[in-house]
């Protein structure tokens, strides 16, 4: 569904909060802009967690569908639209991951489907890609500053959906050690990102 | 008090794991209780959530296929259409022009009020019904999952039992084969025993006559003893010292009289050179003049070879 720029709404310069407020009022164009801004990151996240293109597509669709339906419940002013959006996406991914772990594994299409029938959406604008690339550079650089064991617990918790206790079991480490690593890792990430002068809030 | 502060500090230290979604239920509940009364902790959580919100960028972003966008916005458009049609649909109260309400008779107003109340009650009841149905539905789904799990377990158990049964059948067949082999051996041993009994009773019966068979070759210490009853055609001959034979050879017993040689049974000796045979002559044994034992090819010969091992006069 192609959307031409709207004279009333310049999505690429409007903040997330302005867009979500318009979405809450039923504005599909604002929804288009939010989709263009974040679908690539949501899809990348889902692909990383689920390693299955078909399921990742479902996650993207369901995430933005929920944004559309729950836009009115988002508290404008909290300055955390991305956190809210990614939280929805990650929860969907982790739920799917746990469903898969609960049932016998079937030989799935895996990521092959991505290569075979994915026609990339041409609507991701260069500005969005630049914004993403900058954010990606920041977080990967900050993560690379962490000791390997701290990076590992972050990876297992966020992308693996494991609780601290499950991580301790998986790594055969004491629970207290895992808790310490998680705490230190997040504090260090926060400090590193703040030192780079990055405002952590939304656009 | 000190312990309580310590617990709170320990719980608060897990704010990062909470932002990351990595807390176990118990810890999460404790932290949420603490969050409610600590604005500082709430601010810390807000900041950490922004850090966590950057983590998705660590995964390589990828453009989803265009169909995802198309499906999403088709779904949104369909939902909007549904919402618009339900708004446009005439409703019992909405269809009534507002300005006419003043003309309604008090009685009719009372009826309408009662109707509205009744409808509200019905709506509440329906909502309660829906909630109940939802609960029932969830329970049914849970039951279904439980059943599916039970079924999967039963199938796994059935497969295990089938494997055990197959193994059992295989074992049974192996035992049956061994049993058949044992029975055959028992039958063979029984036959041997019966033959041994016969030989013993034959050679120890009163009136038995014996004849010696002597080695026909120098250097061979073989000998034989023939037990017979004059006037009868049966005889038992016991051998010892018979030399081992080459493969494909057997010993053969012969009767001889003036007319020539009559072929008797073939036999083999045991590894110690001992053997015996029960022979049936074509007529009474004492009608023959002599007997001999030769080496012949397997299956025996019609006429004796020159390889004579034992001979004896009757």
Whether residues B54 and A123 touch (CB distance < 8 A) is answered with no
Give the angle B77-B79-B85 at the CA atoms, nearest 5°.
Answer: 100
- CA atoms of B50 and A138, how far apart (whole Å): 13
- CA atoms of A78 and A56, how far apart (whole Å): 28
Average pLDDT, integer, range B7-22: 86
Mutate to test the interface with A, among B19, B58, B144 (most CBs of A within 10 A): B58
Whether residues A1 and B49 touch (CB distance < 8 A) is answered with no
A35 touches chain B (CB under 8 A): yes
pLDDT tens digits, one per residue of A31-88: 999 999 999 999 999 999 999 999 999 999 999 999 999 998 887 665 588 989 999 9
In this prediction, residue A124 carries a pLDDT of 57
In this prediction, residue B85 carries a pLDDT of 74
pLDDT tens digits, one per residue of A138-153: 899 899 999 999 999 9
Average pLDDT, integer, range B214-220: 86
- CA atoms of A46 and B65, how far apart (whole Å): 14
On the question of pLDDT at B167 being above 70, the answer is yes
In this prediction, residue B112 carries a pLDDT of 58
On the question of pLDDT at B311 being above 60, the answer is yes
Average pLDDT, integer, range B97-103: 36
Q: Token pair for residue A49?
A: 């967690």
Among candidates B19, B58, B71 on the partner chain, residue whose Cβ is nearest the Cβ of A61: B71
Give burial (CB, 10 Å; 0-12/13-18/19+) of B114: exposed
Mutate to test the interface with A, among B12, B60, B62, B79 (most CBs of A within 10 A): B62
In this prediction, residue A85 carries a pLDDT of 94
Whether residues A158 and B49 touch (CB distance < 8 A) is answered with no
In this prediction, residue A4 carries a pLDDT of 44
In this prediction, residue A25 carries a pLDDT of 92
Three-class DSSP category at B90: coil
In this prediction, residue A78 carries a pLDDT of 58
Average pLDDT, integer, range B56-63: 93
Whether residues A83 and B21 touch (CB distance < 8 A) is answered with no
Q: For residue A127, give Cα distances in angstroms to A29, A39, A200.
A: 18, 14, 19
With tokens 């058949």, the residue in question is B180
With tokens 């001979």, the residue in question is B311
In this prediction, residue B258 carries a pLDDT of 84
Find the closest chain A residue to B73 by CA distance: A1
What average pLDDT does the structure give for chain B? 82
Domains identified in chain A and CATH numbers: 1-123 (1.10.1740.10), 125-203 (1.10.10.10)
Mutate to test the interface with B, among A176, A179, A193, A198 (most CBs of B within 10 A): A179
- CA atoms of B302 and B305, how far apart (whole Å): 9
Whether residues A41 and B48 touch (CB distance < 8 A) is answered with no
- Could you tell me if B69 and A39 are in contact, meaning their C-beta atoms sit under 8 angstroms apart? yes
List helix spans (H) across A26-125: 28-50, 53-70, 81-102, 112-117
Where b means 16+ CB within 10 Å and e means fewer, B135-156 reads eeeeeeeeeeeeeeeeeeeeee
Average pLDDT, integer, range B121-142: 69
pLDDT tens digits, one per residue of B173-192: 989 989 999 999 999 888 88
Find the closest chain B residue to A99 by CA distance: B145
B177 backbone dihedrals φ, ψ, rounded to 5°? -60, -45
CA dihedral for A46, A50, A51, A56, sign (positive or negative): negative
Give the angle B294-B300-B306 at the CA atoms, nearest 5°.
Answer: 30
- Strand B209-215 relative to strand B234-240, pairing: unpaired
> Cβ atoms within 10 A of the Cβ of A17, count?
19
What average pLDDT does the structure give for chain A? 82
Reported residue count of chain B is 314
Distance from CA of A77 to the nearest CA of B (A): 12
In this prediction, residue A121 carries a pLDDT of 55
- CA atoms of B30 and B282, how far apart (whole Å): 112
Distance from CA of B31 to the nearest CA of A (A): 14
Whether residues B55 and A138 touch (CB distance < 8 A) is answered with no
In this prediction, residue B230 carries a pLDDT of 83
- Strand B234-240 relative to strand B223-228, pairing: antiparallel
Average pLDDT, integer, range B307-312: 92
On the question of pLDDT at A157 being above 90, the answer is yes
In this prediction, residue A76 carries a pLDDT of 67
- Could you tell me if A179 and A67 are in contact, meaning their C-beta atoms sit under 8 angstroms apart? no
């Amino acid at each position: 569904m192609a959307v031409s720029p709207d004279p009333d709404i310049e999505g690429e310069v409007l903040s997330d909060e302005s867009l979500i407020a318009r979405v809450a009022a039923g504005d599909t164009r604002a929804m288009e802009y939010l989709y263009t801004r974040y679908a690539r990151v949501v899809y990348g996240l889902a692909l990383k967690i689920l390693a299955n293109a078909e399921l990742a597509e479902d996650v993207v669709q369901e995430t933005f569908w929920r944004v559309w339906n729950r836009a009115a419940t988002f508290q404008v002013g909290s300055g955390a639209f991305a956190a809210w959006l990614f939280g929805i996406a990650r929860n969907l991914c982790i739920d799917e991951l746990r469903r898969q772990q609960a049932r016998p594994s079937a030989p799935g299409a895996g990521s092959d489907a991505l290569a075979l029938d994915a026609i990339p959406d041409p609507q991701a604008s260069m500005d969005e890609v630049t914004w993403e690339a900058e954010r990606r550079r920041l977080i990967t650089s900050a993560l690379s500053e962490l000791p390997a064991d701290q990076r590992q617990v972050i990876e297992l918790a966020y992308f693996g959906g494991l609780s601290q206790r499950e991580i301790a079991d998986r790594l055969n480490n004491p629970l207290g050690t895992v808790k310490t690593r998680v705490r230190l890792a997040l504090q260090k990430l926060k400090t590193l990102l703040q030192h780079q002068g990055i405002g952590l809030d939304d656009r | 008090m000190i312990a309580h502060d310590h617990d709170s500090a320990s719980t608060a230290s897990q704010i990062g794991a909470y932002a990351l979604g990595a807390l176990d239920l118990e810890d999460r509940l404790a932290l949420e209780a603490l969050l409610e009364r600590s604005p500082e902790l709430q601010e810390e959580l807000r900041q950490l959530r922004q850090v966590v919100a950057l983590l998705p960028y660590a995964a390589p972003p990828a453009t989803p296929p265009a169909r995802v966008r198309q499906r999403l916005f088709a779904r949104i458009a369909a939902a909007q259409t549904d919402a618009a049609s339900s708004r446009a649909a005439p409703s019992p109260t909405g269809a009534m022009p507002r300005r006419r309400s003043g003309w309604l008779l008090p009685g009719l107003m009372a009826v309408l009020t009662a109707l509205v109340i009744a409808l509200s009650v019905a709506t509440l009841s329906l909502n309660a019904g829906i909630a109940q149905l939802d609960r029932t539905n969830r329970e049914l789904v849970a039951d279904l999952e439980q059943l599916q799990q039970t079924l999967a377990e039963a199938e796994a158990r059935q497969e295990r039992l089938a494997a055990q049964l197959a193994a059992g059948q295989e074992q049974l067949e192996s035992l049956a084969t061994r049993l058949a082999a044992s029975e055959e051996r028992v039958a063979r041993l029984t036959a041997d025993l019966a033959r041994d009994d016969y030989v013993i009773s034959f050679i120890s019966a009163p009136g038995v006559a014996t004849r010696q068979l002597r080695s026909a070759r120098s250097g061979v210490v073989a000998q034989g003893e023939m037990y017979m009853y004059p006037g009868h055609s049966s005889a038992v001959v016991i051998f010892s010292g018979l030399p081992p034979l080459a493969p494909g050879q057997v010993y053969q017993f012969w009767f001889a009289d003036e007319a020539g040689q009559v072929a008797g049974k073939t036999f083999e000796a045991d590894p110690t050179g001992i053997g015996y045979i029960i022979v049936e002559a074509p007529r009474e044994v004492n009608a023959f003049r002599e007997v001999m034992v030769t080496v012949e090819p397997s299956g025996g010969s019609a006429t004796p070879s020159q390889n004579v091992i034992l001979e004896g006069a009757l």
